[in-house]
Amino acid sequence: MISHIRNFSIIAHIDHGKSTLADRLLERTGAISERDMKEQLLDSMDLERERGITIKAQAVRLSYDAPDGQQYELNIIDTPGHVDFTYEVSRSLDAVEGALLVVDASQGVEAQTLANTYMAIEAGLEIIPVMNKIDLPAAEPERVAKEIAGVLGGSSDEVIAISAKTGEGMDELLEAIVTRLPPPEGLEADPLRALIFDSYFDTYRGVVCYIRIKDGVLSKGDRVRFMATNNVENADEVGILTPAAVPVASLGPGESGYIITGIKEIDRVRVGDTVTRVDHPATTALPGYKEPKPMVYSGLFPTVGDDFERLRDALEKLRLNDSALQYEPETSTALGFGFRCGFLGLLHMEIVRERLEREFDLDLVATAPSVAYRAFTTAGATIEVRSPQDLPAANQLDHIDEPFVKVMIISPSEYVGTIMELAQSKRGEMGELTYLSPERVEIDYELPLGEVVFDFFDALKSRTRGYASLDYEPSEYRTSNLVRVDVLLNNQPVDAFSAIVHKDRAYNYGNTMTRRLRELIPRQLFDVPIQAAIGGRIIARETVKAKRKDVTAKCYGGDISRKRKLLEKQKEGKKRMKMVGSVEVPQEAFVSALQIDQDG
Partner 1 sequence: MGDADLVQIVERAADDLGAYLHVPFCEAVCPYCDFAVVAGRDDEVSRYLKAVTAEINGSDAVGLVDAVFVGGGTPSRVSGLAGLVGALEERHGLAPDAEVTLEANPEDWTDGKAEELRTAGFTRVSFGAQSYDPMVLEYLGRRHSPNQIDAAVDSVRRTGFESVSIDLIFGSPVESDASWERTLGRALEASPDHVSTYALTVERGTELSRLVIGGAPAPDPDVQAGRYEIAQAILQDAGYRRYEVSNYARPGHECRYNLIAWAQGEYLAFGMGAHGHLDGVRFRNVRKLDAYLDAVERGVSPRAGQESIMTGDPGLGNALDEERVVLGLRRSSGVVLDDVATAFMASSAGIRLVEAGVITAREGRLVILKPLLTDEVCSSFLASRS
Ligand X SMILES: Nc1nc2c(ncn2[C@@H]2O[C@H](COP(=O)(O)OP(=O)(O)OP(=O)(O)O)[C@@H](O)[C@H]2O)c(=O)[nH]1
User: Total residues at the site for Mg ion (CB under 5 A)?
Assistant: 3
d(CA 416, CA 421): 9
Give me the residue whose beta carbon is nearest to ligand X. 81
For partner 1, which stretch binds (CB under 8 A), given 71-79, 167-175, 336-344, 560-568?
Answer: 560-568
Kindly identify the residues of this chain, within the stretch 13-32, that bind ligand X according to CB under 6 A. Answer: 14-20
Residue 515, number of CB atoms within 10 A of its CB: 15
Interface pick for Mg ion out of 54, 370, 490, 498 (rule CB under 5 A): 54
Q: Which of positions 118-137 make contact with ligand X (CB under 6 A)?
A: 132-133, 135-136
Residue closer to ligand X (CB basis): 41 or 540: 41
| Closest C-alpha to 345, from 527, 472, 500 | 472
When asked if residue 133 is in the footprint of Mg ion (CB under 5 A), the reply is no
Cα–Cα separations (whole angstroms), residue 471 to 14, 413, 443, 464:
12, 17, 11, 16
| Paired strand residues for 98 | 8, 126
Residue 369 CA to residue 362 CA, distance in Å, equals 20
384 part of the interface to partner 1, by CB under 8 A: no
Nearest approach in angstroms of CB 454 to ligand X is: 22
Q: Nearest 5°: phi and psi at 599?
A: -70, 160
For the beta carbon of residue 457, count every other beta carbon within 10 angstroms.
20
Q: Amino acid identity of 447? A: L
| Residue 568 contact partner, candidates Mg ion, ligand X, partner 1, none, CB within 5 to 8 A by sort of partner | partner 1
Q: ∠ CA(286), CA(89), CA(258), 5° rounding? A: 55
Pattern 75-114, ligand X, x by CB under 6 A = -----xx---------------------------------
Among 570, 588, 595, 598, binds partner 1 (CB under 8 A): 570
How many positions of this chain bind ligand X (CB under 6 A)? 20
Return all residues near 291 (Cβ < 8 A) that are at least 6 apart.
323, 326
Using CB under 8 A as the binding rule, whether residue 552 contacts partner 1 is answered as yes
Please give the size of the binding site for partner 1, defined by CB under 8 A. Answer: 29
Distance, CA of 410 to CA of 590 (rounded, Å): 37
**Identity at 160, one-letter amino acid code:** I
Q: Which lies closer to ligand X via its Cβ, residue 89 or residue 178?
A: 89
Q: Residue 548 binds which one of Mg ion, ligand X, partner 1, none, with CB within 5 to 8 A depending on kind? A: partner 1
Work out which of 68, 550, 597, 599 binds partner 1, going by CB under 8 A.
550
Please report how close the Cβ of residue 50 comes to partner 1 at its closest, in angstroms. 32
The reply to whether 252 sits near ligand X by the rule CB under 6 A is: no
Residues 430-449 that bind ligand X (CB under 6 A): none
Min separation Cβ 151 and ligand X, Å: 17
CA distance 576 to 592: 14
| Strand residue runs (E) in 490-594 | 492-493, 499-502, 528-534, 537-544, 577-580, 583-586
Q: Which residues contact 43 (CB under 8 A, 6 or more apart)?
A: 19, 49, 52, 53, 54, 55, 58
Q: Which of 220, 119, 126 is nearest to 176 (CA)?
A: 126
Query: Which window, 9-17, 220-228, 332-340, 461-469, contacts ligand X (CB under 6 A)?
Result: 9-17
Name the residues that contact Mg ion, by CB under 5 A.
18-19, 54
Q: Which residues bind ligand X (CB under 6 A)?
A: 12, 14-20, 40, 53-54, 80-81, 132-133, 135-136, 163-165
Q: Footprint of partner 1 on this chain (CB under 8 A)?
A: 525-526, 547-561, 563-564, 566-568, 570-571, 573-575, 579, 582
